[in-house]
Chains A and B, each alone.
Chain A
Amino acid sequence: MAMSNSPAAATRPARLGGFTSRKLAPYLFLAPFVLLFIAFIVAPLVYAFYMSLYRDTLVGGRQFAGAASYIKVADDAKFWGGVWNLVLFGIVQVPIMLALALLFAIVLDRGQVYAKGVFRLGFFLPYAVPSVIATIIWGYLYGPTFGPFTQMAKAFNLPPPDFLSPGAMIFSLANIVTWEYVGYNMVIYYAALKAIPSDLAEASRMDGASPGQFARLIQLPLLWPAILLTIIFSINGTLQLFNEPYLMRALASNTINSSYTPNLYAYSLATKNQQYGYAAAVSFVLGIVIAGASYIFTLITNRRRPEQ
C-alpha cells in the first residue's frame, strides 16, 4: 500500500542519469518502511518518554514531574514483585523448553526415530495456535468444574489437583508457554543443524568420536549462535508475558493480581487508572531491565563460550 507512490518517484530520477538515481535510490527504497517505523515505533517511544516526565493528577491535570515517576518505579514493590515472578518463571521454564527443543532437534536430525516428519510437524503445531486460544484451551483443561484432570481424580477418589492455586499458578502458566514454543525453538535448532556440513560427521567418525562426543564437541559449539538467539528471544518473551496471565485472571482473579507481571501492571495502570505517565515509566524501566538482562547474559556466555 505504502509502495503505491514510489514507482513514479523512483523512475523519475533514473531518467536524469545513473549518478543521481543511484544516490537517491536507497532512500526511496527505505522510505515506506522508515515512515512507518517513525510513525509507529519512534514517535510512540518519544511520546511515552515525554508522558513519563509528567504526573496525571485528578484535580491539577497534567503536571511536570521530571524523573519523579522513575524514582517511584525504582521503589515500587508491585513492579519488582512482577519482575521477580517472571525471573522465577524464566529460571524454571526457559531451560526446560530449550533443552527439550534441542534434544528433539538432535534426535530428529540424526534420524534415530520412526516417522520423523510426523514429530517435526506435530511438535510445531501448537505454535499455530494463538496464545489467547492456547490459554482458553488450557484454562478449560485446568478447570476445577469440568476439567478432565479433575474428572479423572474424582473417578479414582483422589483429591482434584488445583492448577489455579497461588503455589501452582506459575507452573500452570509455564506449561502453557512451554506447550506453545518447544516446537518453534526446535525448528530453529533443526535448521541450524541442517546447515552443519556433513563431512564434519564423517571426519569425526574417522577420528573415533562417539555420537555423544560429536554432539557435545562439534554440534553444540556450531549451534551456539542459534542457542544464544533463542535464549535472548526467551528472556524477551518471558519478561513481557501478558496474554496468558491476563486471560487466566478470568479463572483465578485471586491468584493473579493486577501486578502479577510488569506488563499486566502497566496495562492496568494505563487502562483502569488512566495513569498514562506512570504506565509509560513502568514500561521504560521494563525495557531497560530486558535490554540489561539480554546484554549481561550475552557477556557472561561469550566469556564461557565453548571453544570452536
Chain B
Amino acid sequence: MTATTDIATFGVAKRRPGERRRSRIMLTLLLSLFLVYSFLPLVYLVLSATKTNGDLFTTFGFGFGTKFNLWQNLSDLLARDNGVFMRWMFNSVLYSTVAGIGAAILATAAGYALAKFKFVGRNLLFALVLGAVMIPQTALVVPIFLLLALSGLSDNPLGVILPSMISPIGVYLMRVYIEQGVDDELLDAARIDGAGEFMIFRAIVLPLVTPGMVTVALLSFVGTWNNYFLPLIVLRSPEYQPITVGLATWYQLAQQGGGGGQVLFSIIITGALVSIIPVIVVFLLLQRFWQGGLTAGAIK
C-alpha cells in the first residue's frame, strides 16, 4: 500500500496539479476502452440470454429484444434433454471441488516433504515435477484414455478427477511457501516434545499454510472447471460430462443446423451465462488469494 502512494507521488511530483489531473483522466479513458472490450462479450451474453430465439436474429446484438424472455429461456434450458444441463453443472461442481481440495492436500504434503526434509532423490523429483509443466496435453490425454480403457476405468469420472488432482505448480508454490513461512525451530521443538511427524504436519504446518492451500485449491478448481480436452476424451456418457463438454456438444449440434439446431441458440447462450456464474462468484469471494497467489513463484 505504501509502495503505491510513494510511486504515485513520485510519478507526478514535479508536475502542476492541473496537468496531473489531465493525465489521470487520459489514462482512465484509455483503460476504460479496454474495460469496454473486456465486458463487451459478457454484456452481449447477458442481453442475448433475455431474448427469444427469433429476436436473436432480428434485433440488434447489443440491444434488448422485443420481449424479456430470460425466465422462459431458463426453463427451456433446464428442461432440454431431460434436464441434463443441471447434471453437467453438478458434475462440474463435483469434479472441480474434489480436484481442488485434493490438489491442495497432495501439493501441501509433497511441498512440505520437499521443503523441510533431506532425502535421496529430492532434487531429481523436484526437477521432474517442474518438467511436467512442459508436456503437451495430447501427449498425456490420449494415452491416459487408452490406459483407463485397459484398466476398466473408461467413461469413469475418476479418470477426470484423479489427473486433475496433480498440480506441479501447486507443489512448487507450497514448497516455497513452507520454506519461508514455517520455522524449522518450531518443528524441532515439537519433535523434542515427542510429537509424531504426522501430528506435526496436521497441528503445526497446516494451520500456518492455509492461505497458500486455498490458493492452490482455487487454481486447481478453476483449472478443472475450465478443462475441456481431458473430459472430452475420457468421458463418453452425457450424464458424466462436465458443463464445458456438454455445452460444446450442443453448440456443434446447433451449428450443424440439423435436428432443431436453430432452437438451441437461445438455450446455449443462456446455458453459457449460467455456467460462468459459479467461477465468477468464487473469484469474487476469494480475491485476495488469486491476487497474491498467482505469483508467489514469479518473484522468488
Contact = CB atoms under 8 A, between A and B. Distances in A.
B137 interface: yes
Nearest to A251: B255
Contacts of A111: 4-5, 7-8
Contacts of A24: 197
Interface stretch (A59-67, A127-135, A298-306): A127-135
B83 interface: no
A250 B125 CA distance: 42
B27 A128 contact: no
Contact of B28 (A22, A51, A114): A114
Contacts of B256: 250
Given A30-B109, A43-B147, A198-B7, A133 B294 contact: no
A137 B272 contact: yes
Given A1-B98, A14-B198, A33-B106, A26 B136 contact: no
Contacts of B171: 33
B3 A196 contact: yes
Interface string B236-266: 0000000010011001100110000000000
Interface residues on B, range: 35 or more
Interface string A139-176: 11100011110010000000000000000000000000
A15 B196 contact: yes
Given A21-B197, A134-B41, A45 B134 contact: no
Contact of A122 (B8, B38, B251, B279): B38
Given A45-B140, A202-B10, A251-B255, A114 B226 contact: no
Contacts of B248: 132, 136, 247
Interface residues on A, range: 35 or more
Interface in B30-72: 31, 34-35, 37-42, 44-45, 48, 56-57, 60-62
A188 B31 contact: no
A198 B2 contact: yes
A270 B140 contact: no
A112 interface: yes
Contacts of B102: 1-2
Contacts of A242: 137-138, 229
Contact of B38 (A21, A126, A286): A126
A187 interface: yes
Contacts of A239: 136
A280 B295 contact: no
Interface stretch (A69-77, A87-95, A102-110): A102-110
A141 B44 contact: yes
Contacts of A110: 4, 7-8, 11
A182 B33 CA distance: 14
A283 interface: yes
A240 B137 CA distance: 7
B280 A128 contact: yes
Given A40-B163, A226-B298, A243 B138 contact: no
Interface in A255-287: 262-263, 266-267, 270-271, 276, 279-280, 282-284, 286-287
A112 B8 contact: yes
Interface string B208-252: 000000000000001001101100010000000000100110011
Interface centre among B35, B98, B222 (most CB of A within 10 A): B35
B166 interface: yes
Nearest to A100: B34
B110 A40 contact: no
Contact of A30 (B110, B195, B251): B110
Contacts, number: 328
A191 interface: yes
B109 A130 contact: no
A140 B228 contact: no
Interface centre among B113, B284, B290 (most CB of A within 10 A): B113
A236 interface: yes
A179 B42 CA distance: 11
Interface in B17-33: 23-25, 27-28, 31
Contact of B143 (A14, A45, A119, A139): A45
Contacts of A184: 294
A95 B98 CA distance: 36
A124 B119 CA distance: 41
A100 B134 CA distance: 25
Given A109-B7, A110-B11, A287-B139, A128 B276 contact: yes
Contacts of B177: none
Contacts of B129: 37
Given A198-B2, A198-B3, A286-B136, 7 more contacts: A41-B166, A114-B24, A129-B279, A146-B56, A242-B229, A279-B138, A284-B139
Interface of B: 2-8, 10-13, 23-25, 27-28, 31, 34-35, 37-42, 44-45, 48, 56-57, 60-62, 98, 102, 105-107, 109-110, 112-114, 117, 119, 122, 125, 129, 132-140, 142-144, 146-147, 162-163, 165-166, 171, 191, 195-199, 201, 222, 225-226, 228-229, 233, 244, 247-248, 251-252, 255-256, 268-269, 272, 275-276, 279-280, 283-284, 287, 290-292, 294-295, 297-299
15 contacts: A26-B114, A28-B197, A32-B109, A33-B166, A119-B31, A119-B35, A121-B287, A123-B34, A125-B283, A128-B222, A138-B41, A198-B7, A250-B256, A280-B142, A290-B134
7 smallest CB-CB distances across A and B, nearest first, come from A148-B61, A14-B196, A10-B198, A26-B117, A283-B139, A44-B143, A198-B3
